[in-house]
Structure 1
Amino acid sequence: MAYAVITSILTTIEQVFQFNPRLISESRESIDSLYGTLSILQDFLEDTGNWINDQDALKLLEKKIRDAGYKAEDTIDCCLRRIHVADTDHEQNNARRKFYDELQEIIEAMDSIQGDVMKFKNVHKRIKDVPATTYLPPRSPGRVLDEENTLVGMEDVFNNIRDQLFGQTPALNVVSIVGMGGIGKSTLARSLFNHPSVSRRFDISSWVTVSQAYNAKEMLLDVLSFGILDGKAMYRNTSEDELLDQVRRKLKRKRYLIVLDNIWTIEAWDEVRRSFPDDENGSRIMITTRLLEVANCASNDFSPHHMPLLSLEDSWKLLSLKVFGNEDCPPQLEEVGNQIAKQCQGLALSIVVIAGLLSKINRTHDEWQQIADNVNSHIGSTSRQCLAILALSYNYLPCSLKACFLYMGVFLEDAEIPTDTLIRIWVAEGFLKTICHKKPEEVAEECLEDLVSRSLIMVNSRGWVSGKIRTCKIHDLIRLLCLRKGKTEKFFHVINECYEVSSEGVESEHRLLLYEDAVQNQNLGLQEGNLDSVRTILCICEPCTSMLEFEYYKIVDTRFQLLRVLDVLMILFQLFPTEITQLVHLRYLAFTTGGDVPTSISNLWNLQTLIVEPTENQLSWPVEIWKMSSLKYFQSGGMSMPVPAPPKAQHILGLEKFKKLSLNEASSNWEEICMAVPNVKELDVIINLDIHPNGWNDFIGSLICLVDLQKLSIQLKVSSHPLFFIRRPAQLWYVFPENLKSLTLVATHLEWTDMPMLSSLPNLEVLKLEFYGFEGSNWNLDEGGFKKLKLLHIHQTRLVHWQAASDSLPVLEYLVLMFCSELEEIPRVIGDIPTLKLIDLHYCSQAAVTSAGEILEEQKSIGNEVLVVTVSPDRPPSLETYYV
């Protein structure tokens, strides 16, 4: 972790220079000197993978850099905090002098280490300085094959299971796949699940990931919401019994396929099995498990399928396919490649991970032999061997990726990890290198894609239009590796986790992971120990966990003076913990409160991400919120935002994403708010018409100043008068910013005749109309509009007649219709759009479903094999459930 801590110090210095240079004005020359030395050390650490001999000496040097870095970081952060919180000029001057003196000691220590680095470089040789055999460059990440497209050695099992899924037995049957972790059970099941012949046979298909710490409600939610955009929100507040009933109704009289992936216990099976009706129509359930007793309990007519380890021939075939794709392996690498494949002992996960490593290094015999020698050095059981191979892949990671990779162990087993949250935390941690002309978030996205290309992270979902990773997952063996490495490298400390790594006392730890059981028992073990170095506290809970009430002083301890990341969103603080405002190094803060936010929130000058979920409707932000110039991401929880005071004097120039913006004061001014965030790129607003009868018009009129806005969501709320009294904004025809790429309108009740204004937006790629975003029974979509629109999502409308010109949506890729119960037909010309990939219907009229089917058949008849139509015809939940 030497690289991470050195990069973190550099990030701290850069941010102080940018946002609060007065703190270090007297020490600028010394800071510049330290920055230069640290940059040299950072460059050396980035290059450590190129040193071929005396790895022990290299590890000792890295440890020396790490320990000195931690000490320097603690000293710098403590000094900066003392300067910032000083009450008088005298105290501040003393703190500045102390900082200067401490800096000299740090510079001396780092200069000494720089000397050690120079000696090391003079003695040792780098890989690229050694003559190599035939050289071939490593593969580019873009050519790494998808796991689901790489079925090697599983063909017979695949065909046998497919025969059982297609079998003539009408009764509901369970097909079980049994095998150890990493052997390829989920890959096989996913390949079957996604096979066109399987998807054509079943009316409904759902994939449910169960995991060790299963949650019955979450499993039912997965069954109901699979394949539905934001589907879980529709049922999130539904009780478990109601969900069970909803599942039965959804599956009743349908031929369905349900996959229960990674089920660990008979109890988990018993919890969910009663929701699956048997209408003797050929429905099937497929489960994957490591435990034969679970498979035997679940299976009735079919014996479990035991996944074998791959043969040496298949192991080499899979390894070669993963590394070289459809190319042939160079002859000089075949022998050593077979050695590596043999050492993987037939475990698919080991092969995939080692292939990810091989694809990143040079294609020379010497480098491959070095990998083979390292694999050969590990002797043990297959599971231990797999972990050893995974550890080898970790050891070969570039220093810039190791901290990012270890962070994946923070999340619960089988968790769907939202990448936007992950990236914001990575950035707040400060261990991403600053790269000219790139934002830290862009660097983080590249790191994530790199880990994916190394087969260490699995992509769970990507944005339909952007192609960016939305959610990701890791295999549970890789998670175990992260937990073990995180502990041995003192990267994080787990408190009361249910796996091997657990609390043994907190001493000079930098990251604390608080799991649900520890928080519920209010037993964190923090009474003793040195907490002065803690930089991160994360509370990790299941998605369905009820809000946890806690005595906040046990979390927000006064000893956490250097805290940077505090994510306790699942813990309810009845009153705002004012101690938080003294944590001046905070960069990421997420919490839930029922109390007012104090004016001292502006003390957090370094805060980049602020996420607050209020439990009371009338909470407001203090005007001091506008002093927080470092904010990039602000989710205000619908709490009322004040107008900057004095107007136009305070702007948050760096704010890029503003979520759940609301004004609850009748005197509030939308224009002043928008002018205070002139560079915002994503804006999510809630307009309460009970308080602002003209708020719709006022807000639309204020958009003119947001020239960089790319993503906009507008939701109208009203309770005192019927929705149909909402007045269309007078300025609608000229104020939406031209750079807008994504627009979501919720309950805005515009008229379909207003659509030309939106269709003329030159850069619009995504349009979502939800809960009567547009009103009326007739929509005539003119020719030539929506030049760049790729996704059209219409949710809840009274639309009956929809006509479209032949060139009205020229590049549309995805059409999603939900709750369109009166729509008589989808325009036939939609099917002629050459880029169209998907028509997705949920709870729509039978006429709409029929027309979608006719479009699909017509396209198939002319050779279009790209278009897919999906239909969910079940009775929907109440709209009140969805819009809570």
Structure 2
Amino acid sequence: MAASIFSIAQKLALMISNEYDFLSDVPDQAQSLCKEISLMTSALQDASEKHRTRNEVKEWLNQVRDVVMDAEDVIDFFIYVAQRQRHRNILTRYTICYPNQLYHLHQLGKKMENSIKKMSQLSVRRSTLGLAISEEGESSVGSMISNELDQLPFRRRRGDLVQEFSIIGFEKEEGDIVQKLLIPIESPRPSPSVVSIVGMGGSGKTTLARKIYKRNDVKSHFQICAWISVSQQYSIKDLLHVIMEQIKPLTPEEKKELNVESLMHRLSSQLKETTYLIVFDDLWRPKDWNLLKQALPVQGDDFQSRVLVTTRNEIVARCADPSVTPFFLRLLDEDESWKLFLTKLMIGCPEDLEDLGRQIIHKCHGLPLAIVVLGGLLSIKPRTHNAWSKVLDSVNWELNQNERNCKQVLALSYTELPDHLKPCFLYLGLFPEDYEIWRNKLIWLWVAEGFVQPRGHLTMEDVAEDYLEELIQRSLIQAPVRLYDDRVTYFRIHDLIRDLAISEAKQERFLEVLGSADHSLISTNKSRRLSLIEHTGGMRGSPAAALNQGTTPNNLRSLFCLHSKGNMEMIKKSSYGAMKLLRVLDLQGVKSISNSLLKQIGKLILLTYLNLRGTNIKELPSSIGDLRNLQTLNLRYTRLRQLPNTIMKLKQLRNLVFSSSPHDGIQSFDYPLDQMMDLQILMLNEGKWIDSSLEKLTNLRALSIDSSGSMSPYKEVLLNALPRLNHLRCLQLKDWTRIGGNEAVVLPVSFSGHLELHHMDLLGISGILDFPPNLTTLSFNSPGGQGIEELMVNLKKLPKLRCLDLTSVDDLGSNVIFSADGFRQLEELVLMYLGFTVEEGALPNLRVLNIIGSDELKRLPCGLKQVVTLQELTLGLMSDELQDRVRKDAGEDWDIIKHIPSIKIDESKHGFILPNACQYDIDSWC
């Protein structure tokens, strides 16, 4: 309940500060409102914990939310009116707008007074409900939990919710953990080694730990073994009693007399002279570990003892023992899921129901707890097609209604989140099931929504990235792919986590999802955010129909049209009028946006985020320049050929993305961008803006310049500007005329001072003096102008280079040499139209190798045979001779590559599709 209130309160405080020029005539009301909201938010944690068991607290929270949202509407509307008047000419502003502004100021003051009055009344009510105002929002971890918290369902039933289920698929993980526990550590250490199991709720952490704990070889290895379930709320004294009961039970008198300090001293003394294994199950916070570890001996030969921790939070694991890498519990694959499911069915699955059963289990996406719940449910259902079909059609409902439901387990992770992360987590519910959410997009949205709190000198995007990493570390989202600089590219959320986010968000009027099978089409809760998701089957109507019925709420702040195949006339002109307070509009992939409809976007003057990526738009209206609050404008993969000059009015822009290809015929952009001093990411075709602006954009983190004409006229400017842009993390320069045989643009630039630059993509550029010292990914096309030997000498010096893509156009037949004194960290290598030699001891970490299109390459280098780390090899567009030499078991070069597990040999002479190695898009770099 606190998430929506907290996010709005934070936003209001920032708005009142930023828009002081608009609110200067009502400063007392504005400050009083801020103060009242601050008092409310300071009691939110206490209220949020108690509202689950006390209806009057829940009602109080609802009233606070409504008042805060009404206050947001009042201030947003006034700022909208004021900014609209600002755009008009001077005569109109003073003859018509100024009198209107006085009227609106009067109305604003009255409405603020009304909100303050309601807040004051709620403040009195807060006191009568006994809600505490906390500076930190949290009581001491070591203190006794309140009586009310003891009655919470998740507290009472923690033991029931963690159901013991069979271990399927974690045999290797079990063996590795046991090895960590049993193998002695050679060097003494002052405290026991801590082994941690990290995973999302319901992934089987406790079950795996319990199986390991019960193993005979583990039990016999340690003189003392103890198991402690910690959970979110606990009494440190009670936990110490639990440990002592398993080591040397206390008498009733001792239990009463010994305080926490005495108990810790006694326990430490008992453990000091023995070898022990203690399991701390379900540890939530680093400070919990810091408290509990005080009971462990800090002297003696404890390096033979062990502690096993299970947690959802990677930060806890790292804190417990930074020297031991945690075990991250993966989700089950399809076969493992099916085996676990069969163990719950007890007497097997009828052959005619296997297909249905597999469809049901597929919806669990490998989460063991969900599989166990559904397996247990089907074990008591009739073994008929009709009965199992009903379960398939209501999987999410069944998982949440079952007595030991998954939502209750997963909700523990949400309630434990700090306030600033709760709205960020709820936001994930806007995206469809199985959706790949790109890091950049989410970060831009969080910043545009006002969720990100300033932190020192960090950019808002850097702070948002920290938020994202913390959600990953808390096992709430899955990050399957990371770049070589360890940044996430995209991530997913489990369907049950998504359902949790949507459920909690709907209760708070934070967001509404329309069009999916488990949500009604008509929004009834006046949510601030609306996500329209096209559903492909079994539904009456569509999101388009919902909007055409005039259901778009006039308090909407964010609108997403995801996977929408319908015509965008579903958003009528009247709808834009109703959405005048809109701040986020995402129409990515919508194919039918009319020009008349597009022109209406210019009226949404409060917009901070506009995503038209992948749409059919051919022209951008000049009114786009009226969106003075716009931070992100994404125009990638549209049919645009030219940007209007009014773009240069968008002084708040942080991200401008507009891409081209050599055949698009996109015109150059010739207007200055030097007023956009907050630009973080810029993707734009070449033009005179380079002359007038580039060297001034010193806050850029990612820069991409495409040239379908020639970049040569801007050579001198680039030489002067690039050394100044020393905050760059990604640089992409592409002169497509180079493909036509023109000379490469020689840029004798040294990037030695660019310590943050990790990724470079250069096409038709040569002459680089020094590459960035921390470069991890390089795509270099047409190195002939540079000189192959000179280039390789520079590249092999880079200590962190892990992905390299080299393509030659002019120097067909050139040979690159990989020597043993360089490229020590290289993991992926793409060579196009180049021969190569691998010396003995070279490329010791290479995993992926793609060799494409060299007719001159008649045989593979013998040195590949000793690159034992190679896992994938792709050969394409080969000479006939090489094709014969690499034939399996028969070719002369087969012996060189037969040790590689995955080999793809494409014998075609055209149409070859290059694998994704090293071909990272700027979207994932930034």
Q: Could you tell me which of 526, 535, 541 is aligned with 1:508?
A: 526
Query: Structure 2 counterpart of 1:538, which letter?
Result: F
TM-score (norm 1): 0.64
Inter-CA distance 716–3: structure 2 relative to 1 (3 Å threshold): same
Contact 1:670 1:702 in 2 (8 A): no
Matched, 1:703 2:703: no
Shift, 1:684, TM fit? 0.9
The amino acid of 2:649's aligned partner reads K
Structure 2 counterpart of 1:564, one-letter code:
R
Shift of 1:517: 4.5
Change in Cα spacing, 1:555 to 1:855, as seen in structure 2 (3 Å) is farther
Matches within 5 A, 1:834-845: 836=845, 838-841=847-850, 843=852
Counterpart residue type for residue 829 of structure 2: V
* 1:475 matches 2:494: yes
Decide whether aligned partners of structure 1 residues 420 and 799 sit closer, same or farther in structure 2, where only a CA change above 3 A counts. farther
CA separation of 1:619/1:737 partners in 2, compared to 1, >3 Å: closer, same or farther? farther
Partners of 1:878 and 1:593 in 2: CA distance: 27
In structure 2, which of residues 908, 911, 922 is the aligned counterpart of residue 878 of structure 1? 911
1:590-739 alignment runs, 5 A limit = 590-591=611-612, 592-613=615-636, 615-616=638-639, 618-622=641-645, 624-638=646-660, 642-644=669-671, 650-659=674-683, 661-663=684-686, 668-675=688-695, 677-689=697-709, 694-696=713-715, 698-718=717-737, 723-729=740-746, 731-734=747-750, 738-739=754-755
After TM superposition, list the pairs within 5 Å mapping 1:338-377 onto structure 2: 358=284, 362=288
Matched, 1:531 2:529: no
* RMSD value, Cα: 4.9
In structure 2, distance between residues paired with 1:59 and 1:849: 71
Quickly say closer, same or farther: Cα 1:858–1:66, change in 2 above 3 A.
closer
* Structure 2 counterparts to residues 261-340 of structure 1, below 5 A: 316-317=210-211, 331-333=227-229
- The C-alpha deviation readout for 1:571-614, integer Å capped at 9, x for no partner, is 13242612212212211110135343233223222211111146
Distance, in Å, in 1 between the alignment partners of 2:751 and 2:415 is: 54
Once residues 14 and 526 of structure 1 are traced to their aligned partners in structure 2, the CA distance between those partners, rounded to angstroms, is 35
| Cα distance in 1, alignment partners of residues 578 and 204 from structure 2 | 53
The total of aligned residue pairs comes to 662
Q: Report the secondary structure of 2:63's partner residue.
A: helix
- Please name the residue that 2:757 is paired with: 741
Secondary structure of the structure 2 residue equivalent to 1:443: helix
**RCO (CA 8 Å, sep 6+): is it higher in 1 or 2?**
1
User: 1:501/1:763 Cα in 2 relative to 1: closer, same or farther (>3 Å)?
Assistant: same
**Structure 2 SS opposite 1:620:** coil
Find out whether 1:589 has 2:582 as its counterpart.
Answer: no
Equivalent residue letter for 1:767: L
Q: Do 1:744 and 1:767's aligned partners in 2 also have CA atoms closer than 8 Å?
A: yes
Q: How far, CA to CA, are the matches of 1:538 and 1:848 in structure 2?
A: 54
Structure 2 residue corresponding to 1:580, chosen from 577, 601, 605: 601
Q: Secondary structure at the match of 1:409?
A: helix
From the superposition, tell whether residues 642 and 786 of structure 1 become closer, same or farther in structure 2 (CA, over 3 Å). Answer: same
Q: Which amino acid aligns with 1:744?
A: M
Match of 1:460 among 453, 466, 480: 480
Does the C-alpha gap of structure 1 residues 784 and 493 become closer, same or farther in structure 2, counting only changes over 3 Å? closer
How many angstroms apart in 2 are the aligned matches of 1:538 and 1:745? 32
Which residue of the partner structure matches residue 466 of structure 2? Answer: 446
Counterpart amino acid of residue 510 in structure 1: R
Measure how far apart 1:554 and its partner are: 6.5
Match of 1:822 in 2: 834
Deviation string, structure 1 residues 728-771 (Cα, Å, up to 9, x no partner): 33x52458863461343343153xxx35x134x44434322247
SS at match of 2:589: strand
Deviation at 1:73, TM superposition (A): 0.9
Q: Which residue of 2 aligns with 1:402?
A: 422
The whole-number CA distance in structure 2 between the counterparts of 1:555 and 1:459 is: 41
Q: Does the aligned pair in 2 maintain the 1:4–1:432 contact within 8 Å?
A: no
Per the alignment, do residues 695 and 332 of structure 1 end up closer, same or farther by CA in structure 2, a change over 3 Å counting?
A: closer
Using the alignment, how far apart are the partners of 2:653 and 2:456 within structure 1? Answer: 21
Distance 1:838 1:789 in 2: 15
Letter in 2 for 1:725: N
Aligned ranges 1:65-104 → 2 under 5 Å: 65-86=64-85, 87=88, 88-89=93-94, 90=98, 91-104=100-113
1:493 is displaced (CA, Å) by 2.1
Aligned 8 A contact 2:548 2:571 in 1: no
* Structure 2 unmatched ranges of 5 or more: 146-163, 178-201, 216-220, 234-238, 240-279, 293-308, 313-368, 378-397, 661-665, 872-898, 922-926
CA distance in 2, matches of 1:312, 1:703: 53
1:702 Cα deviation after fit: 3.7
Cα 1:434–1:61 change in 2 (3 A) is farther
- Name the amino acid aligned to 2:488: I
When residues 842 and 826 of structure 1 are mapped into structure 2, their CA distance, relative to the original with a 3 A threshold, is same
What's the offset of the Cα at 1:121?
A: 5.2
Alignment partner of 1:401: what SS? helix
Confirm or deny that 1:107 pairs with 2:110.
no
Does residue 831 (structure 1) correspond to residue 727 (structure 2)? The answer is: no
Matches within 5 A, 1:50-199: 56-86=55-85, 87=88, 88-89=93-94, 90=98, 91-118=100-127, 120=129, 127-128=139-140, 131-132=143-144, 153-154=166-167
Measured at CA, do residues 635 and 330 of structure 1 come closer, stay the same or move farther in structure 2, by a change above 3 Å?
farther
Gaps of 5+ in 1: 134-150, 160-186, 192-307, 341-353, 861-866
